[in-house]
Amino acid sequence: MFLSKKTPLVAVDMGSHSIKLVQLGQLKNRSFELVSLGMMPLEQGSIVEGAIKDPDQVSEALAGLVKAEKIQSNFVVASVSGEAVFVKKIKVPEMPEEELSKKITEEAEQYIPFDINDVALDCQVLGKVNGNGSQSEVQGPADEGEDMAMMEALLVGVHRDVIDERTDVLLGAGLKPAIIDLDVFALMNAARLNKDLTAMGATALIDLGDSFTHVNILQKGSIGYTRDIPIGGGYCSTMLMSKFQVPFSQTHRMKGGHLPDGVDKDEVLTLIVQEYKKVFDEIQKSFEYFHTLSNTPVERIILSGGGCLINGIDSFMAEFLKVPVEQLDPMQGVKINPKNFDQEMITELTGLLTVALGLATRRFDYSS
């Protein structure tokens, strides 16, 4: 689909419990300003572990959000994540990008763990491999000579059913899908709003979602390793509901330290720590695997997602993983008109808006 730079594009992030919507404008100095922002809660069970179970309800909620925020554009960028998404850095003989696309299509079965007929493929060249070889997880075929010029590429495969799910919901809300991106790429774009990722050593962008924890380890701003861990804050919410007999809607406030009368703070904290240790154990395994692949330890963690709303989560993670942690605030790189938006509310919800913000930058990738 052809879009010009003047085509307004609205970012839609469909999470397990809410839909987030963001629209950005670009200023003359190439910085961004916030044009629209909104959230709409979803009925429990509408989206489960990234899979849309009640598309009609999600479409209805999205249409209501678009109407409430008075969105004029109907062109949308959305994203997918989870176990139906496959991302791998590979090393292949140096060749023009058009030839690479054809070669990957022909040989993708050796890389993709799904039926190739059910997968949408994409591939992006990252650059030439230096003399010492690649840090890639996957090498080229065994018969390639060591002296052959090689390059690294990022191979992406997504189950078509997942793309179709998202597309059908958007169409059902009266919107036009322009781009279907990946959450991991959106997180990178959000971080770039106020950070120079190319100047950093091995950095882990970690998004603590409700159903998944996204781990994206970068080297000089380029993807070195990515993984979607099928554990998130939803498990913690379920335990809080069971232990303290509270509705799901109240568990998020409890994680942030707003406790009902008669509930012991230390008891809640102990339960939260116990549940998130499972997540941190998996993150640790990812770090160790990356270290094995690249011979490089992770030097820092940049944290985002709904899990950021938990008081002290960054300190606990840093202590557990023995790596410095900072919380990502991409809104620092966005101009916000205080007459149009509640700055205090935005600050409180920034962790939940990271993916939508990253998606909203995508419209500026297009040229007229």
When pLDDT is averaged across residues 173-202 and rounded to a whole number, the result is 92
User: What is the pLDDT confidence band of residue 279, given thresholds at 50, 70 and 90?
Assistant: very high
What pLDDT does 230 receive?
Answer: 86
Decide whether 10-82+160-195+329-365 matches 85-158 in CATH topology.
no
User: What is the pLDDT confidence band of residue 173, given thresholds at 50, 70 and 90?
Assistant: very high
For the beta sheet containing 334-335, the strands, ordered from the edge strand earlier in sequence to the opposite edge, are: 176-182, 75-80, 10-14, 18-26, 32-41, 334-335
**Pair type for strands 213-219 and 203-208:** antiparallel
Taking alpha carbons only, the member of 35, 36, 54, 33 closest to residue 44 is 54
Residue 159 CA to residue 84 CA, distance in Å, equals 5
Residues 97-142: pLDDT tens digits?
A: 778 878 777 777 877 878 888 989 888 777 777 654 434 443 444 4
Residues 209-249: pLDDT tens digits?
A: 888 899 999 988 888 899 888 888 777 788 888 888 888 77
Q: What is the DSSP letter of 130?
A: P
Superfamily of domain 10-82+160-195+329-365: ATPase, nucleotide binding domain (3.30.420.40)
Residue 183 to residues 109, 111, 198, 213, Cα–Cα distance (Å): 24, 21, 20, 11
When pLDDT is averaged across residues 79-90 and rounded to a whole number, the result is 86
Class of domain 85-158: alpha beta
Domains of the chain by residue range: 10-82+160-195+329-365, 85-158, 228-321
Q: What percent of the chain has pLDDT over 90?
A: 41
What pLDDT does 233 receive?
Answer: 79
Q: What is the four-CA torsion angle of 257, 263, 265, 268, rounded to 10 degrees?
A: -80
In terms of average pLDDT, the best of 56-65, 250-259, 266-275, 305-314 is 56-65
What pLDDT does 275 receive?
Answer: 82
Asked whether residue 310 carries a pLDDT value surpassing 90, the answer given is no
Asked if residues 28 and 93 have their Cβ atoms less than 8 Å apart, the reply is no
Helix (H) or strand (E) holding 55: helix 55-68
Mean pLDDT, the chain, as a whole number?
85
Secondary structure (DSSP) of 296-359: ----EEEEESGGGGSTTHHHHHHHHHTS-EEE--GGGGEE--TTTS-HHHHHHHHHHHHHHHHH
